[in-house]
Every structure is written in structure tokens, then in C-alpha cells.
Amino acid sequence: MSGLLYLIPAALFLGLLGLGAFLWSLRSGQFEDLDGAAERILFDEDDTPPDDKPA
């Protein structure tokens, strides 16, 4: 059972990593235009993402 002592924190750490990644992507505007994102993958030329944060 002592394995739990490091397995649970490890699981939590990984989960937090995912949560952090989601909050980062939300903040950097990646959820601003879901319809557009679905279409952009079809563009032939390279698409440069916006460098500034959404207003």
C-alpha cells in the first residue's frame, strides 16, 4: 500500500499538467474561433498563428 504514497501524487501531478495546458490554451486564444480552426486545416499555404493575445 505504500506505493500509493507516491502513485497518487504522481497521478495528480499529471492531471494538473493537463489542466494547466488547457488553461494556457484558453488564455492564448485557441478557443476563440473553433469554426475557423476547423476550416484552416484545409488551407494549402502555411498559416501563421496570431502572436498577440485576443483583445
CA distance 26 to 51: 14
Q: Does 51 bind other proteins (CB under 8 A)?
A: yes
53 in Cβ contact with 27 (< 8 Å)? yes
Task: Using CB under 8 A, count the residues that bind other proteins.
Answer: 28
Out of 3, 10, 42, 46, the residue judged to bind other proteins by CB under 8 A: 42
Residues 39, 42, 48, 52, Cα dihedral to 10° = 10
Residue numbers of the site for other proteins (CB under 8 A)? 1, 4, 8, 11-12, 15-16, 18-19, 22-23, 26, 31-36, 38-40, 42-43, 45, 50-52, 55
